[in-house]
Amino acid sequence: MSVPQPPEPIPGARLLFSLDPAVSHLNHGSFGAVPISVQRAQQRLRDEMEANPLRFFTQGLVDRVAHTRRHLATFIGADPDGTALVSNATTGVAVVLQSLGLRPDDEILSTDHGYGAVALSIQRECRRTGATSRVLPVPLAATNEEVVQAVRDALRPGRTRLLVIDQLTSSTARLFPAAAIVAVAHEHGVPVLVDAAHVPGMLPTTVTSIGADFWVGNLHKWAFAPRASAVLVVAPQWRDRIEPLVVSWEQEAGFPDRLEWQATQDYTAWLAAPVGVFTLRSLGVERVRAHNARLAAYGQRVVGDALGVAPELLPEPGGPEVAMRLIPLPPALATTIDAARALQQHIAERLATEVAVMSWNGRGWLRLCGQVYNRADEYERLAVRLPPLLAQR
């Protein structure tokens, strides 16, 4: 089986970022990378804020945030009136959980592909309310039909108060059939929270077509926005029940203002987020998506080959559109979260390469991403240097 060819670099794209050229940044999915133009836009907003803080916060800021929200909601195909800006997807999840009014007989159902911080948030809310958390195992190679059936079988109408699923998982780069899962859950009267942290910018999506009760997505990962930029989309029947984690002066204004207004927080990341979307569109949204997915697939193959992983054993749970790929590590490596973090740091220090190392279901996985600032030779160098490093451990 031949190795897939890498895409042609997008001319000039690498120069849009201020990343350290001495490091290979192959882990865009964790914290993203902010283009220089977006950094400068945010700095101009900070300069405006510091020139006259009272005017910045009291004269039109609520309207400016609302205008930004409408722009970003349009980008993801969401209802602007049902969209609120939040700092990150995990914050949006916490807002939803504490707004549900859980009781001791309730349960929250999630899958074993969920993001670690989201799982911790669920556990905390269950401890606080007496509710129960139940985790549904889903095999990495399960078909979409098998995933939907597993969810259908796991639902407990009358007890399952919320189903939490990922649209695209962080730990396993698995793309779930979100709309089909939502439809099945709604047949049983169960509301659904979709964690789509990696979706905005990477994948084409229309949030309204998914039909979820709650949908959260980060803009700072694949949409080139400054960090602390994300959206929470809420279905109409839930909006009056959404409460902020901290009450401030827009509390009586209702959703989404009551959620967005948090007094003296730094709003410049939100206000500069449309510049990130503009940058993505300037490069060509579809062009960037195709480039990144193809580059990640190339990186997976060359590194996988170097580690002795047969091509048929390289998972592709996200499909050809996903710009994150997994490579199984030797069985003894990264079998715990702490071991995975230690190995990730070791690779960064010894190979000057930033990757994600995951521990999922007792197995270590290397997650590689593709972005417009990456080049094929970065994955090729990793393929040469990684096997002897792993052999030492």
Domains and CATH numbers, the chain: 13-33+284-392 (3.90.1150.10), 38-278 (3.40.640.10)
What is the C-alpha separation between 341 and 61, in angstroms, rounded? Answer: 40
Mean pLDDT for 236-259 is 92
322-347 pLDDT per residue, tens? 999 999 999 999 999 999 999 999 99
pTM: 0.96
> What does pLDDT average to over the chain?
95
Q: Residue 393 has what pLDDT? A: 76
- For 110, residues 6+ apart whose C-beta sits below 8 A from its C-beta are 118, 119, 122, 133, 134, 135, 136, 163, 164, 165
Q: pLDDT-based confidence at 203, cuts 50/70/90?
A: very high
- For 185, residues 6+ apart whose C-beta sits below 8 A from its C-beta are 151, 155, 163, 191, 192
